[in-house]
Amino acid sequence: MKVLIGMSGGVDSSVGAILLKEQGYDIIGVTMNLLPIESEDNLAIMDAKNICDKLSIPHYTIDFTKEFNNCVINNFKDEYKNCRTPNPCIECNKHLKFNAMYKKALEFNADYIATGHYAKIEYSDKYKRYILRKASNINKDQSYVLYNIPKELLSHVLFPLSNFNSKEEIRSIARKYDLSISNKPDSEDICFIPDGNYKKYLEENSDIKSKEGNIIYKGDIIGKHTGLYKYTIGQRKGLGISHQTPLYVIGFNKDKNELIVGDEKDLYVKSFKVKDYNLLLIDEIKEPLKVLVKTRYKSKESEATISMDKNFINVCFSTPQKGVTPGQSAVFYIDDIVLGGGIIV
């Protein structure tokens, strides 16, 4: 069986290729060129190519810069322009890694695509379909950012790292094969903002600019902000105001260019809506369903009930929770299985 594996030049995808080859698959390595090539990108591409050469598998670099700009970068700018906090990795998985790359796999007559993500895909007799589950290494689990995989694609996706319990196991395999990237650090930054300064990036690459406005607390003006894009729900530090009790960002009034702040208790919400949802475990929500919900990649799961309302999924927590941020994703679980998810309104 032929597999097209995404090769980033990092240790996870490299070991993924090793494991698939050991299992007897016919492997093709592909590096997705998502950005105008600079020195670091060239290095990553060369790392991927050298690893493929070492493993005696073909390697291709494919230009996806146009798709990445249209689907990921433009979405990132638009969301901040509209006072929402996006997750570009989720958009990239949706449009690039599990869409454009799968179409490319079909051109290669490949049976599967594979990535170095930490998650599990398996067939469930109970649900009579392929399901997405959490990885064995729960601290590395990436099922949250994978909920947007089209369900019809699940049977064509392989995650070779799904059953490993530690990153050290992965690195030891890389060392066994004498890969130069065995100790390469994990990338945690947004790939198109390597210095992590998203505010500077927006100012230099969009029409979003600093614009002073009022900070509002309980209807009163208590200070000035320098641009709504510089803040996110739940933010406490960097507000430039003093108050007898800690204040947090709790909302925005885009029309009036106002930053709304409140007390910690104001961050807690009982319910919210989700749009642009993708359901994996079921085809539709016919009646209220009890699930566990994650509203951020690193957040803990909370008990909730979900139901359908026209084009939205309604989410009602059993106990009010904080950290619900428009633009981020809410992902629904039943035990360790991803039911689906969508974008928080």
Catalytic residue set: 92, 191
Which one, of 134, 139, 109, 104, lies nearest residue 121 by Cα?
134
Which one, of 343, 345, 10, 338, lies nearest residue 146 by Cα?
338
d(CA 46, CA 61) in angstroms, rounded, equals: 10
Instruction: Judge whether 286 and 242 are in contact, CB under 8 Å.
Output: no
Instruction: Give the CA dihedral 333, 336, 337, 340, nearest 10 degrees.
Output: 30
Q: How far are the Cα atoms of 70, 207, 312 from residue 117, in angstroms, in the given order?
A: 24, 34, 28
d(CA 72, CA 295) in angstroms, rounded, equals: 20
d(CA 152, CA 99) in angstroms, rounded, equals: 11
d(CA 224, CA 212) in angstroms, rounded, equals: 7
